[in-house]
Structure 1
């Protein structure tokens, strides 16, 4: 069994092993990380030999940490990263390069249709009718997008939304509300097979699926990192939020989508969203206006250039073929938008 894991902000860890009678055998850990002293790697392999194959990543990491020689120094790797590589080997996880990645970048669409396209395309990936897909959104109208489990009345000021012409829609993933203005937002979705994140703890799958965009930001002069669970942050503040939804169909798939603040009208945002003190309490700021720091200021680049560089970074890592939504997929999405995402029953399902 072979498993690989790119530690977010770190190096690649590889685990090769066999499973025999419910235990790990022939464990060989490798990678492009740095580790001192040399015998620390032998200690890692030795402690994993015979470990129960049903051990979770936390238990494996604890086992590794306890076995490391005194004074061990690890660079670009951690006990947790090694444990995840082992779990991915056991889960027979697939790697990015094993897939034929597709890019969809359509003209602007209405908010409800975007919600529907996410569900339809990810379901198509789950059942094997569509390759894994990166979709870059263009917005046809200003919108507030609330999370699947958020209370409509608690998150949105209806008068503010009406005054500013904001369409309110609810997505299928959890997480917080997104304030959207066309031209001021960068949004993308990844529709990926479940196998790509097999063996990853749920929280770690966020940073894993966005490691490429952190690299793209670095190339644009923006040092960014994941702030658990689902924020992408810089020293200047939050620049993006991510959300996920698991699709249980066929072999399974994961929808991972991210909204990035390219520019933002902070005054308008606070008139439309009800952002309370409790929401801000763990963010180190007392003002919603100061919580989000747009990419326009941090990069100095036009929005289209930021998107082009992001797509180029993905293509350079994993390959990317231009694609379109098929006629059948679009028909499904339009029907789903009309019967679900544009209906008050869905939008207010949590009043």
Structure 2
């Protein structure tokens, strides 16, 4: 007789728009809490407001002008935030993108195998929207490119035309894993070129414009299937926010 596996309950944090240093503090806090056994596995989606450039935790080389880059994207000449991620990888411009974060544990295998296990919900979710994704093929030469979306490795997901839709990075703390990544939905070409250069921008050719809510809903459904889990929608509490903001 088949025994149905009991589904694990993951925390689903409502979509959040906030500054980059706040978003990274949330992800670090979730990983630390899960690693210490105080917090369940978590799934969340978020956007960066104002736009920001995030650097990989070990990324030392990047253009000096990024530190004082101002953009008219918002119409006010705001300074573009420069934030360091707790995970690795190269620089990502967060504007017109959706970021996902998965915090979990108990996944076995190499780093690339764990990437694939987590990325399956991204592949399945986008397939439900009529978009097929595959893994990138770039070799080690990618480390010389400061732009994360300038090349696609085996940990990245690309469209049929070879353009990169999702770039992900990962951090382990004990048995706990944080994997987060940027989904390029509606980037502003001018801002992208201002940051990475005129030849750096490759437009993402999606079948049609997707609303954030549509994408998030499809990815949540896929995650429930891929991770054999159910979600409990639970915003961050005032006490949790206090702990998180103390890290900023």
The correspondence of residues 178-217 of structure 1 with structure 2, limited to 5 A, is 178-181=92-95, 184-193=96-105, 195=106, 197-198=107-108, 200-217=109-126
| Aligned residues of 1:155 and 1:177 also touching (Cα < 8 A) | no
Q: TM-score, normalised by structure 1?
A: 0.58
Cα distance in structure 2, aligned partners of 1:270 and 1:97: 49
Which residue is 1:162 aligned to?
A: 70
Determine if the alignment matches structure 1 residue 273 to structure 2 residue 199.
Answer: no
Q: Structure 1 unaligned runs (5+)? A: 1-95, 276-286, 338-351
User: How far off is 1:209 after superposition?
Assistant: 0.5
Matched, 1:319 2:230: yes
Question: Could you tell me which residue of structure 2 aligns to residue 234 of structure 1?
Answer: 159
For residue 137 of structure 1, what is the aligned residue in structure 2?
Answer: 46
1:102 maps to which of 11, 23, 42: 11
Give the structure with the higher percent helix. Answer: 1
State the TM-score, normalizing by the size of structure 2: 0.80
Report if the CA contact (8 A) 1:136-1:188 is conserved.
yes
Match of 1:123 in 2: 32
Spell out, residue by residue over 1:39-72, the C-alpha distance to the aligned partner (whole angstroms, 9 max, x if none). xxxxxxxxxxxxxxxxxxxxxxxxxxxxxxxxxx
Distance in 2 separating the partners of 1:254 and 1:99: 16
User: Contact 2:71/2:191 (CA < 8 Å) preserved in 1?
Assistant: no
Question: Compared with structure 1, are the counterparts of its residues 118 and 99 closer, same or farther at alpha carbon in structure 2 (3 Å cutoff)?
Answer: same
2:7 and 2:230 in contact (8 A); partners too: no
Q: What is the aligned residue count?
A: 219
CA distance in 1, matches of 2:110, 2:225: 27
Tell me the distance in 1 between the aligned counterparts of 2:159 and 2:70: 32
Asked whether 1:114 is paired with 2:23, we answer yes
Query: For the aligned residues, what is the CA RMSD?
Result: 2.2
User: For the Cα contact (< 8 Å) 1:116–1:334, is it kept in 2?
Assistant: yes
- The answer to whether the Cα contact below 8 Å between 1:146 and 1:152 also exists between their aligned partners in 2 is no
1:52-131 superposed matches below 5 A: 99-131=8-40
Q: Mind listing any 5+ residue stretches in structure 2 that lack a counterpart?
A: 73-77, 137-152
Q: How far apart in 1 are the matches of 2:201 and 2:130?
A: 23
